[in-house]
Amino acid sequence: MSRIGKMPVQIPQGVTVLMASQVLSVEGPGGKLSQTIHPDVEIRVENNLGIVTRRNELKKTRAMHGLYRKLFDNMVVGVTKGYQKALLINGVGYRAEIQGNNLVLSLGFSNPVEYPIPEGIKIACESQSKVIVSGINKERVGQVAAEIRSIRPPEPYKGKGIKYETETIRRKVGKTGVK
């Protein structure tokens, strides 16, 4: 039995879970999320607990058991607390700011880079060197943060670029110049 899949999902007060024709819908104070569920996986709600079970013991079904339990849990956490990722910008003259519905990044290129903010995602600049991406969908928040980071990934010699707040960059030693 899947160690992750057999754990029940706690459903807090104010969160509504609906399962209709293989579509799981979770609605809460943060918003509404929906996910299509594979027919071999079944989700039931009993006493404010979401229970995920599988209908057979095939290898593919066993793999999906834990996956759909975690997706269900991520949806519940997303509509209650939400998710966020922080990005740090390091480099002389590198900065970020919000202009209208765009994130404008000055990263040492000849022109500033404009990143359009997707629907359902909030981007805030705490300072010129710290960008916070937040939203209710964990997958979308991570994808947007990865796209912003990919504009100028950190380089190993001086550490310039955009990195996650929790990321550590392994630095390399440059040339010595002595032969």
User: 136-150: string of b/e by CB count within 10 Å (b at 16+)?
Assistant: bbbebbeebbeebbe
**Within a domain: 139:** yes
Q: Average pLDDT, stretch 56-64?
A: 91
Tally of domains within the chain = 2
pTM for this one?
Answer: 0.89
**Within a domain: 173:** no
Q: What is the pLDDT of residue 101?
A: 94
Q: Average pLDDT, stretch 69-98?
A: 95
Smallest CA-to-CA distance from 81 within 165, 5, 12 is with 12
Q: What is the pLDDT of residue 32?
A: 95
Taking every pair of C-alpha atoms in the chain, what is the biggest distance, in angstroms? Answer: 74
| 44/93 same-domain check | no
Domain hosting 21: range is 9-80
**Given pLDDT bands bounded at 50, 70 and 90, which one contains residue 4?**
confident
Model confidence pLDDT, tens digit, residues 101-156: 999 999 999 999 999 999 999 999 999 999 999 999 999 999 999 999 999 999 99
| 89/157 same-domain check | yes
Indicate the average pLDDT of the chain. Answer: 93
% of residues, the chain, pLDDT over 90: 85
| 87/158 same-domain check | yes
**Within a domain: 19:** yes
- ∠ CA 91-95-98, rounded to 5°: 160
Q: What is the pLDDT of residue 179?
A: 65
